[in-house]
Amino acid sequence: MSQNHYSSLLSGPDSIRLLRLMPHEDDTAPIECQLLNHSLKESSKGTHLYEALSYVWGDSDNPRSISVDKHGLSVTANLHAALSRLRDHSLERILWVDAVCIYLDRSRIKHCRKLRLGTSVLWGV
């Protein structure tokens, strides 16, 4: 996935990227997702918009592929398995997944501040 795709999604300092996990009736079908923006300012209205996925990244020697906005993205087998299990047969699911929602060539700490999370969340402390 290109850097331009990631950078075009952020619309302001109070925005984060979220992953829309598309439903599928076939549990073995390829995983299809969409990236979208979410304003943290609107989160204060008490709505339940997304779930944060916590998982062990695992070994990156055996990557799997998912589709994000019709572009292939390599992810760890653990993330692929988690998304497969979380995918519903008929309903979309909105997730925050660090490996997809954070552009990994940028500073993680800067993004953590934007999310108002402690850095321990990303470093596994």
pLDDT, the chain, mean? 78
Q: Is the pLDDT of residue 106 over 90?
A: no
Residues 12-20: what's their mean pLDDT?
Answer: 83
**32 Cβ neighbours under 8 A, 6+ residues apart:** 22, 24, 66, 67
% of the chain surpassing 70 pLDDT: 66
Higher pLDDT, 120 or 80: 80
The pLDDT tens digits of the residues spanning 38-67 come to: 877 776 666 667 899 988 888 888 899 999
Report whether 18 contacts 50 (CB < 8 A): yes
The tokens describing 110, both together, are 């800067």
Q: What is the DSSP string of 31-98?
A: PEEEEEEEEHHHHTT-----EE-------SSS-EEEEETTEEEEE-HHHHHHHHHH--SSS-EEEE-H
Is this prediction's pTM over 0.85?
no
Confidence band of 3 (pLDDT split at 50, 70, 90): very low
